[in-house]
Structure 1
């Protein structure tokens, strides 16, 4: 049987060299394939390691959440979702859908500092019967959702869960006890046809009996000015053509909700329910969402600047 040992020495050497060369070529091709698959990353390369997720979350531009920068605006143009964290906002939906059923109770007189006024009133309505109290509660709930999304704690003075009221002095007290950073009473006006637009009511300087607005008139004006600017921009509504001389601002000393407040607070009359053109906006759910967003942006600007 032949085993190659009988070949001449030179032929045996040539055969050995060819075998070695073939082995080197095969090994080299394998090494190149291994490199191209990412094999130079060490053991387990080419497969996610247990730390990959943490690395991507920490800001790897190719990982999950790529493109998100802490503190940057989101896709809607808003800023960080917790920018109102730690802030308390009190929303006061004007009147109550059930006030009309409790005439005696809401007619009770309460002390507003410089006078006595009714506990509450029924509010106004559109010609088609859409009540101001329904409007204010809807807008307040929408604004609450938006403000909570920004991290704020939101307190409503009533959420359709009371038989009537609360009275105007109690509404102010809710904001005071909550130590609100900002408070807003939401209304719609009941003026004559042709009177259109929104206006924001600021507290006047009142120091009488239980009322003392000295400390809140300044910050309340700043809140009101920013609110008017944002509300106009978001809703496209014009400032009132019958109150405020085109500024969208008014100042009053006869509202218990302002007189008795110890925290920055304003009222907003979102439009005139007795004017057909304004009423068409106030009864439109899409417009009410804009109103809620304008309110949210105005409050947010006040609390973050």
Structure 2
């Protein structure tokens, strides 16, 4: 299961995306608008494009792939619905795809994996293994460094994300690069580089499943 973060219609529907939902150990907004590069390339568009490229690569290799949203012009779905999709469709693993809005001087990517909270204990260990496989393949395939401003060696454990707290299958998030950094943003806006990203992420799934 692939989750392209955010959605193109979120910004024009604040009443829907700002409603509070349970994330397992608290409450947060249903969804957010995401970030944007200095040149105006939106995160939601990046996420949608990369998720579809990755889905095609995986399907060409024989995988069954479900996405959490059907277009980049809609609203949501809420993080609760995104988290539930993997279990509902019987996915073996899930990856939520994002671009980060870090400090402009920072660069690099990082993978987010769940910390144990009530309800997700059964998927934490496998989620970490998935995250490490994705991290290694993405690092090797894209040449992007680990984030200089967050996490440790490209890995960050969090207990405040509904997509991880409520997940029923092994799940990781990837912040594919820092969209606030002009050099990195240019790579993320590049069609050629997004193809490279998709191939790298597919290799991460292959490595995870072939352990």
TM bin, normalised by shorter chain, reads over 0.9
Could you tell me how far apart the structure 1 residues matched to 2:141 and 2:46 are?
18
Q: TM-score by structure 2 length? A: 0.98
CA distance in 2, matches of 1:125, 1:232: 23
Structure ranking higher on relative contact order (CA contacts 8 Å, 6+ apart): 2
Pairing 1:166-245 to 2, within 5 Å after superposition: 166-207=77-118, 212-245=119-152
CA contact (8 A) 1:181 1:303 kept: no
Residue 57 of structure 2 is matched in structure 1 by 146
* Runs of 4+ that moved beyond 6 A: none
76, 87, 98: which one aligns with 2:9: 98
The SS at the match of 1:153 is coil
1:210-289 equivalences under 5 Å are 212-245=119-152, 247-289=153-195
Aligned length: 211
Distance 1:219 1:294 in 2: 20
Structure 2 match to 1:304: 210
Normalized against structure 1, the TM-score is what?
Answer: 0.68
Q: Which residue of 1 aligns with 2:21?
A: 110
Distance 1:112 1:294 in 2: 30
Deviation at 1:163, TM superposition (A): 2.4
Following superposition, the deviation at residue 206 of structure 1 comes to 0.5
Q: Aligned partners of 1:294 and 1:163: how far apart in 2?
A: 28
TM-superposed CA distance for 1:134, in Å, is: 0.2
Note the C-alpha offset of 1:242. 1.0
CA distance in 2, matches of 1:187, 1:155: 17
Map 1:152-171 → 2, pairs under 5 A: 152-160=63-71, 163-171=74-82
CA distance in 1, matches of 2:121, 2:102: 30
In structure 2, runs of 5+ residues without a counterpart are none
| Residue deviations 1:56-105 (CA, integer Å, cap 9, x gap) | xxxxxxxxxxxxxxxxxxxxxxxxxxxxxxxxxx0000000111111110
Contact 1:137 1:159 in 2 (8 A): no
Secondary structure class of the residue paired with 1:154? coil
Using the alignment, how far apart are the partners of 2:178 and 2:137 within structure 1?
19
Deviation at 1:161, TM superposition (A): 6.2
Q: Tell me by how many angstroms 1:162 deviates.
A: 6.2
| Consecutive unaligned residues in structure 1, runs of 5 or more | 1-89
SS at match of 2:8: coil
1:263-283 residue CA offsets vs partner (Å, 9 max, x unmatched): 000000000100111101111
CA contact (8 A) 1:190 1:273 kept: yes
1:159: how far off?
A: 2.7
Instruction: Give the structure with higher Rg (CA).
Output: 1
